[in-house]
């Protein structure tokens, strides 16, 4: 075990628990090299006298501390309730609830995944997917069997049928700001395009979407519309792309309307919790990012990197197509494709290129050079 994996002299559990610490170190050593967590997480088996941000206070179902929760949360701590058949996490004004079985080492696994730099909800998802003895079965013990992952509790109903499917590998996926750009990249041979227009008067927006969809028909290409699903339905678009925040505002009847129209649905995800949430809606594809730092939008999470992308690919392979997005250009694309992901979305690599035609040609060439089994 390298020194970067050692928990010695680190405040991982409170009160100190040698057996849990040893199990956490053993698990952590089988997870690979990851940057150390930016947050000094501490798993509290009993409530500390002075709760602080970074504390996760574990409460078993035979304890009754609801009156104390508010005070702990007010100090920035999180509360993990472990009950028969599931776990919930209260943190930063949010509640995350899961159903699933727990390994004996799940708290040690939670510490290990937190140490790999994952946010608490994602680390908890991974800890619940952990099984006793995983660390002894392989040099790479990372959970990649979706059947072992927990189920999210309290999600809204979904349409009776899954959203329409799209190809397993969407290839080069250009995200552009106008119908003129849609037409331009389609002429250059791009087959998957997203129109992303955030601010436009309704009449202009409808016109841009209709123009983009018509261009897609002429070129036999897949045109997704970002956010504006009503206009996408009206124009007969191939699909629509939505963010996690959209899932919070859409009514079940609206989701049913999108599915009934035949639109494909792409959903943004930024980690394991959001992935499980998105899969509940049975979308046509998932987008994962931001893989690298990007200036095209404000990031709620730090760049994910290639190591996380590779794990994500392994988890959803054969379940749903995956699109990598965020800061991808000609320099970084080969590394992205080496993870096995079937599609990579680019923005500035095309729209800010001095020669968009040369840029698209080079990006397509990178896809052609990837191993056929990748």
46 is in an annotated binding site: no
297 is in an annotated binding site: yes
Q: Strand runs (DSSP E) across the chain, as ranges? A: 13-14, 42-44, 55-60, 78-83, 86-91, 94-99, 151-152, 171-176, 192-195, 222-226, 239-242, 264-269, 285-288, 322-324, 343-346
198 is in an annotated binding site: yes
Q: How far apart are CA 243 and CA 278, in angstroms?
A: 10
256 is in an annotated binding site: no
294 is in an annotated binding site: yes
227 is in an annotated binding site: yes
63 is in an annotated binding site: no
Sequence length of the chain is 374
Q: Kindly report the number of other CB atoms within 10 A of residue 259's CB atom.
A: 21
145 is in an annotated binding site: no
Chain centre to alpha carbon of residue 288: 5
Q: How far apart are CA 118 and CA 124, in angstroms?
A: 9
195 is in an annotated binding site: yes
196 is in an annotated binding site: yes
Q: How far apart are CA 353 and CA 347, in angstroms?
A: 10
31 is in an annotated binding site: no
Q: Which residues are annotated as a binding site for Mg(2+)?
A: 227, 246
Q: Which residues are annotated as a binding site?
A: 194-198, 226-227, 246, 268, 294-297, 327
């Amino acid at each position: 075990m390298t020194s970067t994996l050692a928990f010695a002299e680190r405040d991982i559990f409170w009160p100190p628990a040698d057996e849990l610490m040893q199990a956490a170190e053993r698990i952590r050593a089988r997870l690979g090299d990851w940057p150390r967590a930016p947050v000094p997480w501490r798993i509290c088996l009993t409530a500390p006298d002075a709760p602080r941000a970074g504390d996760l206070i574990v409460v078993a179902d035979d304890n009754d501390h609801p009156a104390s929760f508010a005070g702990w949360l007010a100090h920035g701590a999180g509360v993990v309730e472990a009950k028969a058949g599931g776990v919930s996490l209260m943190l930063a004004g949010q509640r995350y609830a899961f159903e699933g079985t727990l390994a004996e080492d799940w708290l040690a696994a939670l510490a290990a995944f937190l140490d790999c730099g994952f946010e608490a909800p994602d680390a908890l998802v991974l800890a619940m997917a952990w099984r006793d003895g995983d660390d002894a079965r392989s040099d790479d013990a990372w959970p990649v069997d979706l059947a072992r992952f927990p189920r999210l509790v309290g999600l809204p109903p979904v349409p009776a049928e899954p959203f329409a499917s799209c190809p397993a590998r969407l290839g080069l996926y250009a995200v552009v700001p106008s119908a003129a750009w849609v037409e331009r990249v389609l002429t250059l041979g791009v087959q998957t395009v997203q129109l992303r227009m955030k601010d436009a008067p309704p009449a202009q927006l409808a016109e841009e979407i209709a123009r983009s969809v018509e261009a897609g028909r002429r070129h036999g290409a897949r045109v997704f519309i970002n956010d504006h699903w009503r206009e996408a339905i009206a124009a007969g678009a191939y699909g629509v792309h939505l963010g996690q925040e959209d899932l919070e505002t859409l009514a079940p009847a609206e989701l049913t309307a999108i599915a009934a129209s035949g639109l494909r649905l792409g959903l943004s995800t930024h980690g394991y919790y959001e992935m499980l949430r998105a899969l509940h809606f049975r979308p046509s594809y998932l987008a994962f990012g931001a893989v690298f730092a990007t200036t095209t939008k404000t990031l709620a999470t730090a760049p994910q990197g290639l190591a996380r992308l590779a794990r994500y690919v392994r988890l959803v392979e054969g379940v749903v197509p995956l699109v990598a997005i965020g800061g991808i250009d000609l320099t970084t694309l080969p590394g992205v494709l080496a993870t096995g992901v079937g599609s990579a979305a680019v923005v500035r690599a095309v729209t800010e290129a001095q020669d968009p035609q040369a840029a698209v040609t080079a990006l397509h060439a990178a896809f052609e050079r990837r191993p056929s089994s990748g």
